Amino acid sequence: MLSITEHSYGLVGKCLSHSYSKVYFDEKIAKLGMDRHHYDLLEMPTPDKIRDVSIKNNLSGFNVTIPYKESIIPYLDSIDYSANEIGAVNTVKVLRDADGSLRLHGYNTDAPAFLDTLRPLLKPWHTDALILGTGGAAKAVAWALRQLGIGYLFVSRTPEQRPDSIGYSELKDSTQLLIVNATPVGMFPNVDASPWPYPDMLTQRHLCYDLIYNPSPTLFLRQAKQHEATIQDGLAMLHRQADLAFEIWEGENKTESN
């Protein structure tokens, strides 16, 4: 049993072999001299056991990755305002009441991390965007773009189910110069796949941002670079959202319910 001065954190998701989170947090914890802190990868077949996982691993907080950023919400006790607005959670703080019961409070650090790492790359002509995907990561991207005043369309495999999206077959007619991949297409181990079907459309005025960081660069970004587009992988965003999550975990036990 960990002592009260120790803190155990982790990443929950379905398949975590691609993740760099443990490496980053292990290095961060060592650099800060917090040798009584721990970070582990915690695979779960379904999100409904998250309370049991939190108890078993004595978690003080955890990150959430695909495919649970949306589906974990019903199993939390509360979420903060921005996470509720986004509709996705990637960071959870575990609070313990005096009687030992747990309260799980959700946040979204993906959205501000994406905003912070996108802003320096923007040019005046990046006024509209395409968001490839419609899941939890895509929702965080959309929230950030709204804060920046950038219009966007989701690109979906099932556009008939989403009035705010277009299908991949319609991309030939797109004029947006900011393209964000918020799907897992191209992620390790499927490194020969790309979510963007028309690489010859890309130009030096395009900004292509892929939330994937393993591999780096992805096939999508390699193709974009061949056409002189500005590219950005997801590693900087990973680090930024991790730092924001750590600040939440190490901060005072305050919550903001939705």
What digits encode the pLDDT tens for the residues 192-232? Answer: 999 999 999 999 999 999 999 999 999 999 999 999 999 99
| Predicted local confidence at residue 90, as pLDDT | 98
All CATH 3.40.50.10860 domain ranges in the chain, comma separated: 7-108
What digits encode the pLDDT tens for the residues 159-178? Answer: 998 888 999 999 999 999 99
CATH superfamily to which 111-235 belongs: NAD(P)-binding Rossmann-like Domain (3.40.50.720)
| Predicted local confidence at residue 258, as pLDDT | 47
Q: Is 28 one of the annotated active-site residues of the chain?
A: no
Catalytic entry in 14, 22, 31, 69:
69
Residue range 106-114: average pLDDT? Answer: 98
Whole-angstrom Cα distance, residue 133 to residue 152? 12
Backbone angles phi, psi at 206, to 5 degrees: -80, 145
Q: Give the distance from CA 180 to its chain's centroid.
A: 13
Q: Which residues of 166-190 are buried (b: 16+ CB within 10 A; e: fewer)?
A: beeeebeeeebbbbbbbbbbbbeee
| Predicted local confidence at residue 181, as pLDDT | 98
Residue range 7-20: average pLDDT? Answer: 93
What is the average pLDDT score of the chain? 93
Global pTM reads: 0.92
Pairing mode, strands 78-79 and 102-107 = parallel
Residue range 13-20: average pLDDT? Answer: 90
User: Nearest CA to 65 among 8, 132, 17?
Assistant: 17
Least confident range from 87-91, 133-137, 251-255: namely: 251-255
Residue 100: pLDDT band (50, 70, 90) is: confident
User: Nearest CA to 131 among 65, 81, 189, 86?
Assistant: 86
All CATH 3.40.50.720 domain ranges in the chain, comma separated: 111-235
Choosing among 3.40.50.450, 3.40.50.620, 3.40.50.10860, 3.40.50.150, the CATH entry for 7-108 is: 3.40.50.10860
| Predicted local confidence at residue 164, as pLDDT | 87
Q: Which residues of 31-60 are buried (b: 16+ CB within 10 A; e: fewer)?
A: eeeeeebbbbebebeebeebeebbeebebb
DSSP 214: S
Neighbour-count burial of 235, counting CB atoms closer than 10 A to its CB (0-12 exposed, 13-18 middle, 19+ buried):
middle
Q: What is the widest separation between alpha-carbon atoms in the chain?
A: 61
Residue 86 is which amino acid? I
What is the gyration radius of the CA atoms in the chain, in angstroms?
A: 19
DSSP 198: -
Distances (CA, A) of 108 to 60, 65, 77, 163, 258: 17, 11, 15, 25, 13
Neighbour-count burial of 6, counting CB atoms closer than 10 A to its CB (0-12 exposed, 13-18 middle, 19+ buried):
middle
